Structure formats: C-alpha cells, structure tokens
Chain A
Amino acid sequence: MMMDEGTFNEVVREKIASIDFGMLSPDMVKKMSVVKIITPELYDADGYPIDSSLMDLKMGVIDPGLRCRTCGAKVRECPGHFGFIELARPVLHIRYVPTIYNILRSTCSTCGRVLVHPNEHAKLLEKISSTNGEVNEKVLAVAAHVINKTKTIRKCPWCESKQDKVKLMKPSIFVESGRKLTPIDVRERLERIPDADLPLIALNARTARPEWMVITLLPVPPVSVRPSITLESGERSEDDLTHKLGDIVRTNQRLFENLSAGAPEVIIEDLWDLLQYHVTTLFSNNVAQVPPARHRSGRPLKTLEERIKGKEGRFRRNLAGKRVNFSARTVISPDSQLRIDQVGVPIKIAKELTIPERVTEWNMAHLRKFVEDGPDKYPSANYVITPDGKRKRVSDETRDVILAELAPGYIIERHLMDGDIVLFNRQPSLHRMSIMAHYVKVLPFKTFRLNLSAVVPYNADFDGDEMNLHVPQTEEARAEAELLLSITQNIVTPRYGLPIIGCSQDHIMGLYLLTKHKEFFSRQDAAELLSRVGIFELPEKPGKTLKDEPYYSGKQIFSMILPEVDYEGSTKTVPKHVCKKEDCQFEDFVKISKGKLVSGLIDSKAIGPEAGKGKLIQAIINRHSMEEAVEFIQKASLLGIATLQKLGFTTLVTDTDLPPEARQEIKDTFDFAEKKVDEVLEESKKGKLKPYPGRTLRETVEFKIIEIINRARNKTGKIAERYIVDENNATMLMARSGARGSAMNIALMAAAVGQVHIRGTRIYRGYNERTLPHFEQGNIKPAARGFIKGSYKTGLNPYEFFFNAITGRDSIMDTSMRTPKSGYLQRRLINAMQDLSVTYDNTVRSASGTIVQFEYGADGIDVSKSDNGKLLIPKEELR
C-alpha cells in the first residue's frame, strides 16, 4: 500500500488472524507481570502512588502528567501492564471448582491416573488420537463418558490403591472421608495427573494443566482497567476492583506474617478461608452460598464477572456495540418541500459535524477560505490536521499560524454542507431501511427535517420522535452510502419486493380527488397545480374548450407527472361487480397507457407504501429505474398536496351521521339477532340442540351465539356503508382511497362497536358467573358478555363503556408484552443468521464455510431486485 506514512493516523497493516484461549500458568503470570504487589496502602502522604502497591506506576498511569515506569508512555498511550500477587497459600478458582470436583473423583488419589482400566484407557485414547490433544466434540463425548463411569470406582486399576469418596461442600471445600482437602492437597493431586490422561477428562494439556485451576500467583490487572476517580473535594475514589484487590493483598500479607510467626493452625485456617473468600469474590460476586462482598455504602461490589456479563457487560456494551464520533441526535419534524432523499440538518449541528478534506494544490484556495472564516462563521472549518498527525483547533488565535503553514497534505475538517451524504437512523433498527443515506440540506431551527414519504421505512412519526445522524468520514464510506444505503436504492423492501416508500395520507387523498374530479380545470388552475410540481407546460391537448378557453381534466394533469409507462390494475376497493374495464362506472379499472392515465382512480393500491400496494411505483421501477420512481413519488406527493389545497378537503363530524331509517334498520338487525340467540338458548335448555362433533353443549351454544352476533354486526356495517354514499363525504373518501382509516373505522363510528374480546374470547370474567352487577348470574346473552350495540357516535351506555375500557386495557397488555418478546426473537434470529452470506460461487454459506443453500432461495433472485418475489419483466419491451 502506498499510503503516506505518518501523515495521518498510523495505518494498521496487521490483521488479527486468530485468538487462542487458555488458562494462565503461574509461570505465565510471572512472565507477563512487571511488578509484585505486596503493599496494601495505595498512596503516600503526598498522594503519590506507592511502589509495589496496587497503584504502582509500573502497571501504567491514569493521572495526566505522569509517565508509565514500564513503557514510558503517557496516560492514553500506555495500554497498562499486569502485576501479580504471590498468595501465601493457594486458593481455588471458584469457577473451576465443579471441574476440579469431577477430576478428583475421576482420577487416582495416589498415582493420578484416570480411573479406567489400562486396556480401556488405551482404547479410548486411540479413539481420540486423531485430535492431537485438542478438545473437540468427540473428546467431550468420551470425557463425559469417562467422568460419569469413574465417579464410583473405589480401587485404582493402575496402582490398586483404595479410592475414598470425595465430597464437595459448597462453595469450595473438598472433603475426603471426613478429612478436609486443602487447596494444597488438591493442587498436589492435580499435579500428578499425566498429560497423556488429560484428554479423557476434557482438558487440553497445551493450555490447561489441571493444577492451574488452583491459584498460587494471582494476576493483578493494570490500573487503566480500574481507574480511580478524583471527586471535587480532591478525595480519591477507587474502583471496585482495586478495593477487592486491596482486600486480597491485606489478607495475604497477614497470612504471610502469621505463617512466619508460627501462629496457631486455627488462625492460619481462618485467614486462609478469608483469602479464599476474597479471591472468590474478585472473580464473581454472584456465587451461590457466598455472601456478596459489599462496598462501605452497602452496595455489592462489581467484580470481574459482573463486568463481562449481560446487556450492560463488556461483550454486549463495548465489544458488539461501540460509541462513535461524528453523530448527532435531535427531534424530527416534517418538511414536504424537501426531496425524499434529503434531510434537513439544523445549522447548529452542521457546525459541529465535520468532513475531513485533504488539501491539494488544486483545492488549496477553496479550503483556505474555510480556515480564514472559521470556526464561528458557517461554513468554515473546526480543526486542521497537520501531516504529522497533530490536530489543531481553528480559532481566532491559531488561525493565522495555521494559514501560514497550510500546504498540500494537510487535512481540513470543514462543516457539514448542503449535498454532503450522511446516514440517518431511527431506533429500533428493525430492518436495513432503518439506516439510510440522505443528502444534507442545512436549515435554520433545531430539528431534523425529513420528507413525509421517507417516514414509513423508519416507522417514524412527529410526536416527539428523535433520530440519529452519522457523518461518514472516508471516501470509501461515502461511496458505500451513496451506492448501497441511499433512499433511492432502498425503496423496494427485501421483505416482499414491493415499494416501502410511496405516497401517504394527504398525497393519496389529493391524487384520488384529482383523478376523480369531474369538473375540468381552467388553464390557470392547471398551470398552478403543475407549477407546484415544477412542471411548466400544460397537457398537449385541452380536455375541452369553452369559449375558446382550454380546460384540462384531472387525469390529464396527473398524466403530466407520469413517466412513459404502461399499467393496468384495479383500485383498492376491489370491484364486486363484473369488471367492465374502461367503462367501469366506479372507475375501478386503472389503466395507464404510454404514460397517460386512461381510466380509473389513483389510490393507495397504486402509490401507497404498504404491503401489497404501490403497484404503479413498482411498474415504474420495472420500466425505468429506482431513480425515476423516486422522482415520480416526489412529484406525486407535491401534486397531491397542491390538489388538496386547491379543492379543499374537510372531514366533518356529520360525515358519520346516519338517517333515522338507517338507525331503525340497525336496531332491527340487533333485535333479530337477539331473538335468534334466545332461540338457541331455548333449544339448548330443552336439550334439543345437537352439539357440534367433539364439542360440549356449552361450547356449541357459545359458537352459535358468536356466529349470530358476528353476522349481525357485519350487517350493521353494511347498512352504514349503504347510507353514507355522498360523493363528497370526506371520511368515506379517505377510507376508499386508502389515505387513512377503513370501512371498519367508519362502522365503529356510525353503526355499532360490536363484540369486544379479551384474549380472543367474549368477556366472561368479573363476578361470579357474570361480568358486571348489571346482569343476573348465568346470563350469556350478547349484552351481558361484551356486545356493544352503541356506536362511538351515538355513545355507549354505562356497561358498554366498561366493556370498551376492558378491551382497551387488554390491548395495552398485549402490546406491552409483545414488544419485548418480539425484540428478543429478533435478536435471536439475527444472531443465528448473521453469518450467512452469498459467496462467489453463488452458494449461501455460514462463517465456517458450511453450505446452507446451493442457490439462494432456490433461484438466486434477490427479493429487493424482484417484482414481489418474481422475476421483474417489463412487459412494454415485449411489444
């Protein structure tokens, strides 16, 4: 690589090829350590770290100004170095106690051999000889068998000595026929086990001698792993680990002293146990039957295991996810005048986020200007990086110096400007469209602005949602952003292969009205509408001429924004009548020929962003390109808004009013249903009712009632729909066009709420045999079991109101249980599949190279490049 060395950050050329795991041997501990820790005190009277203490400067530095005594580097440069504590008496590593227990029971207490007969021993070793001492599944299986079988053997087949039963007294005391085995005894026994036998107890002789599970030398992590913080009062507050290590050093020293003074055995034992406790809690403060070590305040200490474990632990918090620079977060708000692939960035943020640009002979003058203006003016530069990697803040004081030395090879970090590409993200990032690339448009005020059509893939709304923005810092990253992450590249979802970006709400409503509008638009009106989209010409031929004035139809105006495309489809309201194609009286047959809307209405089925919709947009992608489709969505939404503003559109409370005869009809329907239910109840009482096969009578009655009331409710919905037919009924128009709401919503408001459910059944709980005190016990008629005859418009009576509140709670419960469950499912799915990718031979393989599919999805088609999962074929080209 011809990277100029030393100019910017050092280029790392080495790759980590593999990481080996193993246990630390005492030799290794000594080898990797730079100091032996013996003093429990940390600082001297001047607050300077004491030598051979836990804060020894040889283990690295955490105070600015000081230098590491091992490598000579300063605070952030020195990676830290290990030290060690020589334990006066060995202690057990708490997490290896179960393993040690197994080993003690499976090996001879005298000769150390695994307790299998020499013949079998050879056979077993032969069986796993191919692994060369490595532990794999085969070895594990053999070892599990050995450990299980040898537990009960009481005579060593090698040296014929008697084997006593070893018991484990939790947490960490081994007892052999009433006698306690000290860690020293344990270690001696483990030492005796020959390397050759280790595979039989699932140990790798190369990395894990069993005696290393008993600690003699305890490694002390560098200070940079356990930095102390200085409080405002100047007092130092040490890390939990330091506290714990301090306990160990102190106990250890006392044990040393007592040993050399020849103290009585009881005292030694006590101190030894204490040492065991401290070392145990250093590793984990969550060991069963070991009281957690506590801070002076009573808070349990956070020791090594707690640092690694869980969502907040090292793995998930720091290794699998990392903090980044060059990012911003703020509230989002809509801006219909922005392009779909733009994001409005507050100027305040634009002045904080920067893009590095390298100075060359050719852009020198251009970049100089940024330094000259900087850093308060916009646009200017915040930092300049010199060829030797020094980062200089541009300020009034430094500006002249920097300007003087500025030369090719310098890097200037200039403010974010219009047209820069950035990544935009909203959490939860559930699919890849949750992070997309946008082009910056710097705007006043304090919120990120985005086009309404870009809201769907992020699942965002503007009720206070915040989003994140990241600025790619290298050309490589910017190229990937533009080519792979841009909105344009992501309008088709890989989930089902249809557009997920399209027009919504107002846009759909506007276009629906425009294409439905019976009256013609005057020349002036047509020009006004089109100019809003950026089209400054009129349709070729006027739709009609009146008094020499040209008039244009809505369809003609809509056709102006269409690219050359052929499309045939139906509207969202799937016609129940026989389709008369172009002559359809409801205009349900949508036909576009060579980019002209011939018949039909434009609704969400053609331009909407949900599943099974956006077919017209898909047709444009098929015929042309994603870019063209984005262009169309852009124009369509603007035209939609313009139309709404021109024609006006208001939903009214009276939209869902029903005439008295409709109300009567609904009442009759319910009366009829109630009568039917009574009949069923009567029948069942008389025992005339024949139960459904495999069902009890009770269940059958229940089913019948549900059937009847469902039918009745559906009928009332139909009645409402029949009476709300006014062409200009805004609520109905919204539901029809798919802009917002559904026939169901209208039925709820106009006709009746109907049956409410808890956990999928009619309401049955509450008091003994009844739901509310309003009903007599055992009443299972519709009204007593949560059937609401009222509509939201007419209002509910008191008990109906209760029932309605009950479902409200039920659905809140459902949502709040579902979110974490599905989140966990998603995490597991991702974790199971994240390594699967297509390789150069077109097979799908896992990380280890195992073939999962020979051809992706059996046909190798990328769903996001398909037409709803099918091969994309532009039919126009066949003619």
Chain B
Amino acid sequence: MEFPKSVEDQLKALKEDMKLNKQQYENLLKLAEKQYAKARVVPGEAVGVIAAQSLGEPGTQLTMRTKWLAGAREMTVTQGLPRLIEIFDAKREPTTPAMEIYLKSSHATSESKAEEIALSIVDVKLEDITSEINVDLAKMRVEVYLDKNKVKHYGVTEKYVQNMVKENFKTAKITTGDMMIGIRPKEEEVDLRKLYGFRVKVKETHITGIEGIKQVLPVKVGDVWMIKTAGSNLREVLAMKEVDIENTKTNDVFETFSVLGIEAARTVIVEEALDVLRNQGIEVDPRHLMLLADAMTNTGSIRGIGRYGISGAKSSVLARASFEVPLRHLFNAAMYGESDEISSVIENVMINQPIPVGTGIVKLKIESEAMGKKKTEEAKEEKAEKKEKKEKKD
C-alpha cells in the first residue's frame, strides 16, 4: 500500500529510530496499513466546523497585546489575537509588514557581509541623510542640508543624492550648493501652506535601498546569517543576486500572492497563523489551518472569512442572510429572483431538516426483497400507483 508522504516520513523515521530490520519493517508497514485505515477521517465528518472550533477556541487565551518585543533587539511585530484576525480577515496589508531574508551561502557566513547587504536594502529617505530641511520663505523654496556622516553611512555621494532629487522633482527648480539642495516647486503661485506640504514630500524622497524596507537587522540563525526587516518588498528583494530565493519570505499574504502566486499565499497564511499560535504556546494541528487556508484560496484569489469574503460569497440566500445584514440579501434575492437549494447546514437548521454533514449524509436504501415482506413486483406496482397519483396532481 502507498502511504501519503507525511505517513511515509513518519514510518521511515521510526525505522531509523527503532533500528528495525527488514522483516520488522515489513511488519511495521502491515501494522501501519491497519492503523491508517483506522485513523482516516470518516465521510461526512464536519472537518470545517472542527477546524473553525480548533482555531477559535484558543482565541480566548491569546493576548490582545499588539506589539511584541522578543529580546531587546528584535523587530516589533503584531502578535496575538489582532494578528490572527488580520490574517483570517485577509487584510490587504499587515499592520507590521516584515520579511525574513535568507542569503546565498556565499554571503550567509559572515556578519559583515550580511550587514553590508542589510544596509544596502534599507529604504533611505532624504530626511535620513540630512541635518535639517527648512522652508526658505524669502526664496519660496525648500532647503535641504545634507549631513556628511549620514551620507557616508549609507554609502552614497552628494552627487548621487542631487540626481535622485532631480529625478524625483522633474518639474521643480533645483539649485545645489555645498551640501545643500534648494527645491522650488514649479507652480506659478506658491503659497505658504502648499510649500509646507511640499516639504513633507521632499522629506520622503526615496534616495537609495529598497522602498518599503524600514528597518533591517542581521541575525544569526543556526550557523548562517540572515536579515530580518520591518517593512516588506518581496519583488525587489527576490531580484537581488545575493538573496536565497527559496527561503526568503514576507508576512504579507497579498504581496506573496502577487509575486509568487496563490499556492505560496496559502502557505504564508498557514505559516503565519501557526507562528502566532505557537508563539503564545497554543498547540493547534496544522491540518486545521491548512483547511482554512484552502477555503480562503481555493477560488484562485484570497478571500477572508466574514461578510466580504467566504461567508458573503455563499450561494445560498438564507445562509448569507443568517450571518450578517440579512435584509440586504433578502431584497436582492427578490430582485434577482434567486432560488435557495437548501444545500448547506444553516438553511436545513432553519427549516428543521437533517443537516447534510455528519450522520446527516447517510441515506438508507433498503432492497425491498431483503425486507422479506414486500415482493419486488408489489413495490413496482406501488411505484406506478404513486406516479399516477402524482401525474393527476400535476
């Protein structure tokens, strides 16, 4: 018999562990076959509800604390219940996007190399390398004073910065001085308020690094160096030649989806949620998360749970109506002339019929001969009679 991969791995590990000889391994396989048959899910099992309960029940034990400082130098990442809700809701962007960047073996061995890469990817804005940014009222322009040390720290030159500024403000009039850049917006009439607004824009001018990577932290994991970041930009990071593409990941589900596809997004959902739960010491079997992630992604796009996601996309009017905002669903159903096939759990509950999961899926068919009482012919006659009646009715 062929086992699923997880079981096969388990058996192989067991073989190693117990030092089984060939005969014993054969016995193990036979035993496993028997046990596997016993351990299988039964048709009808309401695995969805079980998964939902397994994920929801420990929710009361999760902390609400949003920020988490694991050790002094770690990044702050949203944790606990808020993060879990965020994942299940399929929020467009995580509150605290973060990446784990693994490096190719040539760069992963030394701290200095990792740090070098880390510095090169951190998103540097103009304000990060200036000593001050002023508004010159007389000349109606924004003046930027570069900080020599800071400029050097991020490995750029004055010239480079000037070019970046020019590129960013193509229409503006730019004057350069010694470690100073003056930027005057193009518009004929520049009023004060506009100028101050412009100053904010100037501050946030992207100079170097990868946009979106706010913080970097080289960390040693096992015996390799990798980089943890706050902020995420998967596409550009993966394009770097020093990066180990296979292991690098982000906690942003939608970004993963757009860069790597739906299967990768599914994996991120499972791993991120599992991480949150494990971090709080809550044990949940990954199968439950896999099912949820599959339900969220099986259409090819990411749907959250709740009204605007899975629950809102149900085909049954009553099922939607019973969840939230019932009236809208009812009015629309009337206009669209919808029909409810009573195929899911909730509608059957509503009209007091057995639900189509669990023991409710069993439909008993009895061969009339086996009953002993009725002969087949009799049954046929009866059937014909019924048909007749029905026809009359119609």
Contacts and interface: CB of A to CB of B under 8 A. Distances in A.
Given A817-B64, A837-B45, A869-B287, A826 B52 contact: yes
Nearest to B50: A494
Contacts of A875: 18
Interface string B6-20: 110011001000101
B137 interface: no
A871 B327 contact: no
A22 B337 contact: yes
A89 B327 CA distance: 26
B94 interface: no
Contact of A865 (B39, B58, B68, B115): B39
B291 interface: yes
A320 B351 CA distance: 9
B334 A818 contact: no
Contact of A430 (B48, B57, B321, B349): B57
A852 B115 CA distance: 44
Contacts of B71: 707
Interface in B23-59: 24, 27-28, 31-32, 35-36, 38-59
B357 A837 contact: yes
Interface in B292-330: 292, 294-295, 298, 305-306, 309-311, 314-319, 321-323, 326-327, 330
Interface in A1-40: 15-23
B39 A852 contact: no
Contact of A496 (B85, B281, B285, B350): B285
A759 interface: yes
Interface stretch (A382-390, A742-750, A840-848): A840-848
Interface stretch (B98-106, B166-174, B340-348): B340-348
B63 interface: yes
A818 B81 contact: yes
B380 to A, nearest CB: 17
A804 interface: no
B218 to A, nearest CB: 8
A838 B45 contact: yes
A837 B350 contact: no
Nearest to B306: A828
Interface string B69-90: 1011100000001001100100
Identify which of B281, B290, B350 gathers the most chain A CB atoms within 10 Å of its CB: B350
B35 A873 contact: yes
B49 A834 contact: yes
Contact of A19 (B27, B41, B335, B339): B339
B159 to A, nearest CB: 26
A819 interface: yes
Given A95-B327, A204-B337, A836-B48, A847 B356 contact: yes
Interface stretch (A360-368, A582-590, A592-600, A856-864): A856-864
A850 B298 CA distance: 9
A537 interface: no
B36 to A, nearest CB: 6
Interface residues of B, number: 120
Given A814-B65, A838-B43, A848 B343 contact: yes
B67 interface: yes
B333 interface: yes
Contacts of B42: 838, 862
Interface in A793-828: 814, 817-819, 821-823, 825-826, 828
B47 A203 contact: no
A431 interface: yes
A305 B327 contact: yes
Nearest to A875: B18
A432 B305 contact: no
Contacts of A852: 291, 294-295, 298
B49 A830 contact: yes
B136 interface: no
Contacts of B68: 760
Nearest to A863: B285
Contacts of A814: 63-65
Nearest to A213: B335
A496 B335 CA distance: 46
Given A431-B57, A814-B65, A828-B311, A835 B24 contact: no
A400 B339 CA distance: 55
Interface string B272-291: 00000000011111111011
B244 to A, nearest CB: 21
A553 B102 CA distance: 56
A871 B309 CA distance: 34
A631 to B, nearest CB: 20
Contact of A20 (B314, B316, B337): B337
A231 interface: no
B267 interface: no
A706 interface: yes
B261 interface: no
A15 B353 contact: yes
Contacts of B292: 829, 832-833
Contact-size category for A: 35 or more
B60 A822 contact: yes
B190 to A, nearest CB: 34
A483 to B, nearest CB: 9
A672 interface: no
A202 B56 contact: no
A714 to B, nearest CB: 13
B268 to A, nearest CB: 17
Contacts of A175: none
Contact of B39 (A761, A835, A855, A872): A872
A814 B57 CA distance: 17
A842 B42 CA distance: 8
B10 A430 contact: no
Contacts of B346: 320, 834
A832 B305 contact: yes
A692 B71 CA distance: 13
Nearest to A316: B322
Contact of B48 (A695, A834, A860, A861): A834
Identify which of A95, A322, A847, A866 gathers the most chain B CB atoms within 10 Å of its CB: A847
A419 interface: no
A856 B287 contact: yes
A49 interface: no
A857 B340 CA distance: 30
A838 B59 contact: no
Given A18-B339, A828-B311, A857 B345 contact: no
A43 interface: no
Contacts of B326: 308-309, 313, 315
Contacts of B359: 480, 484
A863 B41 CA distance: 8
A837 B48 contact: yes
Nearest to B28: A878
Contacts of B44: 837-839
B88 A828 contact: yes
A495 B295 contact: no
A853 interface: yes
A837 B48 CA distance: 6
Nearest to B75: A694
A611 B350 CA distance: 36
B358 A836 contact: no
Contacts of A496: 54, 283-285
Contacts of A856: 41, 45, 47, 287, 291
B216 interface: yes
B96 interface: no
Given A21-B334, A207-B334, A873-B32, 19 more contacts: A17-B341, A20-B337, A96-B331, A202-B336, A315-B321, A319-B318, A496-B283, A611-B282, A611-B283, A692-B73, A833-B305, A834-B346, A836-B291, A838-B42, A838-B45, A847-B316, A861-B36, A870-B10, A873-B14
9 contacts: A203-B335, A207-B334, A496-B283, A760-B69, A834-B46, A852-B294, A865-B39, A874-B31, A878-B18
Nearest first, the 5 A-B pairs at minimum CB distance are A836-B48, A204-B337, A822-B59, A826-B56, A857-B287
